[in-house]
A = this chain, B = another copy of it.
Amino acid sequence: MAKNFTKREENYSQWYNDIVQRADLAENSSVRGCMVIKPYGYSIWENMRDVLDKMFKETGHSNAYFPLFIPKSFLSREAEHVEGFAKECAVVTHYRLKADPETHTVVVDPEAKLEEELIVRPTSETIIWDSYKNWIHSYRDLPLLINQWANVVRWEMRTRLFLRTAEFLWQEGHTAHATSQEAIEESERMMNVYADFVENYMAVPVIKGVKSPNERFAGAVETFCIEALMQDGKALQAGTSHFLGQNFAKAFDVKFLDKDNTLQYVWATSWGVSTRLIGALIMAHSDDNGLVLPPKLAPIQVVIVPIYKSPEQLAQISEAAGKIVAELKEKGISVKYDDDDSNRPGWKFNEYEFKGVPVRLVIGPRDLEEGTVEVTRRDTLEKSTMQIAGIAEKVNNLLDAIQKNLFTKALNYRSEMTTKADTWDEFCDILDNKGGFVLAHWDGTTETEVAIKEKTKATIRAIALDSVPEEGKCILTGKPSHKRVIFARSY
| Residues of A near any B CB (own CB < 8 A) | 27, 29-31, 34-39, 42-43, 45-46, 62-76, 82-83, 86-99, 104-106, 108, 117-120, 127, 130-131, 134, 140, 146, 150-151, 153, 155, 167, 169, 342
Contact = CB atoms under 8 A, between A and B. Distances in A.
Contact of A68 (B30, B88, B153): B153
A62 B41 CA distance: 11
A462 to B, nearest CB: 30
A445 B434 CA distance: 76
In the complex, the 8 A-B pairs of residues with the closest C-beta atoms, listed nearest first: A39-B62, A34-B67, A37-B65, A91-B94, A95-B155, A86-B106, A93-B93, A31-B67
Given A37-B64, A118-B31, A120-B68, A106 B82 contact: yes
A131 B68 contact: no
Contact of A97 (B87, B130, B342): B87
Contact of A117 (B42, B71, B74, B108): B108
Given A88-B96, A117-B108, A66 B29 contact: yes
A43 to B, nearest CB: 7
A130 B29 contact: yes
A233 B353 CA distance: 58
A64 B43 CA distance: 8
A347 to B, nearest CB: 13
A91 B89 contact: no
Given A34-B69, A38-B64, A130-B30, A96 B106 contact: no
Contacts of A62: 39, 42-43
Q: How many copies does the complex hold?
A: 2
B67 A167 contact: yes
A217 to B, nearest CB: 18
Given A36-B131, A46-B63, A67-B35, A90 B88 contact: no
A72 B91 contact: no
19 contacts: A27-B131, A29-B66, A31-B69, A31-B70, A34-B68, A34-B69, A36-B131, A37-B64, A42-B62, A42-B65, A46-B63, A76-B106, A87-B97, A88-B95, A89-B97, A92-B92, A92-B120, A93-B94, A97-B119
Contacts of A89: 95-97
A169 B65 contact: yes
Contact of A36 (B30, B65, B76): B65
Given A30-B74, A42-B65, A87-B96, 7 more contacts: A29-B66, A29-B67, A36-B64, A42-B64, A69-B167, A72-B97, A76-B105
Nearest to A45: B65
A463 to B, nearest CB: 30
Contact of A39 (B30, B94, B146): B146
Contact of A43 (B63, B117, B127): B63
A64 B44 CA distance: 11
A157 to B, nearest CB: 9
A99 B82 contact: yes
Contacts of A70: 31
Contacts of A72: 97, 106, 108
Nearest to A67: B34
A342 B83 CA distance: 44
Nearest to A69: B31
Contacts of A96: 87-89, 91, 155
Q: By CB atoms of chain B within 10 A, which of A37, A64, A119 has the most?
A: A64
Nearest to A53: B46
Contacts of A76: 104-106
A140 B341 CA distance: 12
A92 B91 contact: yes
